[in-house]
Amino acid sequence: MALQKRWILGAAAAVIVAAGAFYVAAGSSAAPQSTFVLLDGTKKTTADLKGKVTLVNFWATSCTTCVGEMPKMVSTYDTYHAKGYEHLAVAMSYDPPDYVVNFTQTRKLPFEVAIDNTGAVAKAWGEVQLTPTSYLVNKKGEIVKRYVGEPDFNELHALIEKLLAES
């Protein structure tokens, strides 16, 4: 019995170590190469994110959590934009473009909004299906953190400040 408990504890420890290693590896992975089509028809690529701390936020107008967190996203952008922070809101492929445009205009979103018409961007960023899903990208173009659901904004702000301070 003692041997079995030791084996279970050892296996559990190995899983925890492996998960930690995955988290560290995932924390420094390069953002996938993508082209974002903005509402005005211009394009932005993943390479354009380098040099800035950017939150890539996958959302939908039909997602109540997305709609609920948007004022906090705007406040975060307003707080950190002048220091080198960007926000890129990526509307999901199933979101009707006219809904996205209407939402963006009526809420006066101050950051860039893209529409992922084909779903290729969501696929490239890890088969994103749940909204909101957000990725915080550092100045080197590496994904530092992934949030599924509304982020803890105090934690997000602390991480943004840390990343903005890095050279």
Residue 40, pLDDT score: 95
CA distance 48 to 50: 6
58 — phi, psi (to 5°)? Answer: -85, 125
Contacts of 36 (CB under 8 A, 6+ apart): 43, 44, 45, 88, 90, 112, 114, 116, 121
Report, as ranges of residue numbers, the positions in the chain whose pLDDT lies below 70. 1-28
Cβ(4)–Cβ(120) below 8 Å: no
Instruction: Say what the pLDDT of residue 167 is.
Output: 82
**Three-point CA angle 107, 96, 48, nearest 5°:** 70
Residue type, 125: W
What is the per-residue pLDDT for 166?
93
pTM for this prediction: 0.83
